Amino acid sequence: MSNPLQELPSLPSFDRLEPEQVEPAIDAHLAACDAKLQSGLYQRGWDNAVAPLEEAQDRLSRAFSPVSHLNSVLSGPWRAPYEAALAKITNYWTELGQNRELYDLYRELAASADFASWPQARRKTIELALRDFHLGGVALEGDERTQFAANSRRLAELSSTFANNVLDATNAWTYRTEDESELTGLPDTAVETARAAAENRGERGWVITLDGPSYLAVMTHAENRDLRKMVHLAFVTRASEQGQHAGRFDNSAVMTEILALRAQQANLLGMNNYAERSLASKMAESNDVVLDFLHNLARRARPAAEREFAELQAFATEQLGLDQLEPWDIAWAAEKLKRERYAVSQEELRPYFPFPKVLKGMFAVVERLFGVTVEADSSVTVWHPDVEFFWLKRGGEKLAGFYLDPFAREKKRGGAWMDTVSTRRQGAEGLQLPVAYLVCNFSPPTGAKPSLLTHYEVTTLFHEFGHGLHHMLTRVDVGPVSGINGVAWDAVELPSQFLENWCWEPEAIAMISGHYESGEPLPEALLDKMLAAKNFQSAMFTVRQLEFALFDFQLHCREQGASAEDVQALLDQVRSEVAVVPVAPENRFQHSFSHIFAGGYAAGYYSYKWAEVLSADAFSLFEERGIFDQETGERFLRSILEQGGSRDALELFTEFRGRGPEIDALLRHSGIEA
């Protein structure tokens, strides 16, 4: 029987994929990679060694991509084959990173007389490879070399275990009621979603889950304080030793082992801590630079955040009868205050942001900015009926493609993300186009009513599409530095945060909004209120991000890792320094902090704020020249999106902006005094 993971058509054959195909396909691709490595070591040179090996590795990546993706969006039968493949692939990359012969080949190329005349993308590929060899332990000997490889394999296993525990803990908790009065205050869309959740389980009544849309609806709108408390505590104790499923999916030991192994990896490389190891591939120059950046922002933002929280507490006491705001009251009380102050709520905006209209409008915004069109292609096979496939075109020519999986469902990982299907590269068979996955977790359509988005969800969609554009609009043909590959991690959020700005511009809002029944535009009065409310509690949001970033970075500045108790103590300390809202004693946020324990943000969560400085400053040029100024859009396209990782991020930003980044635009956009 044919195996689509070995054949590798240009797009994955999701209608033919089966879990049992994974292991033989991955084994075959790994064998091909090893064969190319061995032949390249004897033939040398870019064309004979580097390019053939990179092509074989690209095929391995394309085979693993749908497996990894299906594990995230369907889980179930894909978990075991994903984990088995991950272990083999991790082992391959670990051994490759310690291959002295290959390292010597790259050093030989970098030292060759004609290296300076090589194309920029090839030079950058070699430079980044040499950096990664050092970070992969190529210089280690004996027991240290063996230990480093074993640690790498174990870390991959632990990251997967952490993510699985969070997903399983999220899916394990539900609350069912047959008394609709318990749901008083919830928007109709949330009530209907809860009813559908019960129906899907073959049960009567309504089911609340910990999926994003369900959780946020309860925390923001439920009048039932006991319900808010129950759902909040279930959410913040996921995958920990607390809560209803205490210990069942507990990430305490997983977290501790991850931190110990990361610290040991850094020490083996001659570094003081894992934060130093992390910064080796980022824009920020040192631990002190990052900590100074975060503390400086905290000093500016916390006074405003304290004022915002004091206002909220006073409002809760005077208007809501709450002498003390508890953690499960914050979002609910904030929504009440926002509605009183600005006479606007996210639920009031929902009818004007039906998902199909927002999507079509977003495509129109991108067309005006970058001259590209988006066309759906229903002939491409997908993994779920909710999913659509689109081509990105310019002048009728296909530039790239992407899958869009927008709605929340059971067994799908929470959150929103972009991932790669394939990377733009020039190979033996011609030019390979970049293809991306874009995944969100919006409330699904119910009955004849389309999915209706909050404005926050609209910005999430723009954010992920910004990542997608960075991957898809690259003009670089060398895989390791094409699209998002090779981009400094603290600059990778620049295009995503940059695109969010159009969600707040009246000219663009007119393109992405329209009442789902009548098609009428967002009323001017409602638009004015929405824009006036833009920076409502923005300082509280900023210090919340700084809490996560400081916790993450300081945690990875330790030389020896940390116990679960140490982790909690550090988080408590950071909260005492920057946080302004109360936290439940049972709160175990760190146990589900997948960004740093199961994603790529370890000692890198600060990147969101770092890149926000870049994105706000970049957008300020559009503010000066017009938000759809063609020349400025073309300049951003040429200097940032098309360059991928082929040049340093700071160099590219400076080329676009005409100077280095400045923080003033971020403070202004956030409503915080410069």
287 within 8 A of 276, measured Cβ to Cβ: yes
Q: Are strands 397-407 and 435-442 parallel, antiparallel or unpaired?
A: parallel
pTM for this prediction = 0.90
Q: Same domain for 128 and 227?
A: no
As a whole number, mean pLDDT of residues 567-589 equals 97
As a whole number, mean pLDDT of residues 147-175 equals 95
Q: Same domain for 337 and 355?
A: no
Q: Same domain for 390 and 332?
A: no
Exposed/middle/buried for residue 76 (C-beta within 10 Å: 0-12, 13-18, 19+): exposed
- The pLDDT tens digits for 503-532 are 999 999 999 999 999 999 999 999 999 999
Q: Same domain for 502 and 360?
A: yes
Q: Same domain for 299 and 206?
A: no
209 Cβ contact list (under 8 Å, min separation 6): 170, 171, 173, 174, 197, 215, 410
- The pLDDT tens digits for 63-105 are 999 999 999 999 789 999 999 999 999 999 999 999 999 999 9
614 within 8 A of 662, measured Cβ to Cβ: no
Q: What CATH number did the domain enclosing 652 receive? A: 1.10.1370.10
588 Cβ contact list (under 8 Å, min separation 6): 236, 237, 238, 239, 240, 241, 242, 568
Indicate which residue of 54, 55, 457, 464 is catalytic: 464
| Structural domain containing residue 112 | 4-161
84 within 8 A of 22, measured Cβ to Cβ: yes
- The pLDDT tens digits for 202-234 are 999 999 999 988 999 999 999 999 999 999 999
Calculate the alpha carbon distances from 475 to 427, 465, 638 in Å.
14, 18, 9
Average confidence score pLDDT of the chain? 95
Q: Same domain for 553 and 621?
A: yes
Residue 98 lies in a domain: yes
pLDDT of residue 347: 87
Residue 674 has pLDDT above 80, yes or no: no
Q: What CATH number did the domain enclosing 115 receive? A: 1.10.1370.40
Q: Same domain for 552 and 451?
A: no
Residue 582 lies in a domain: yes
223 is catalytic: no
Q: Same domain for 479 and 596?
A: no
Give 414 or 24, the one with higher predicted confidence: 24
pLDDT of residue 669: 87
pLDDT of residue 428: 86
pLDDT of residue 191: 95
Closest among 158, 221, 124 to 478, alpha carbons compared? 124
**Cα 296 to Cα 298: distance, rounded to the nearest angstrom:** 5
Residue 315 lies in a domain: yes
Residue 1 has pLDDT above 80, yes or no: no
Q: DSSP alpha helices (H): ranges in 556-644?
A: 564-578, 594-597, 607-625, 630-636
Q: Same domain for 285 and 185?
A: no
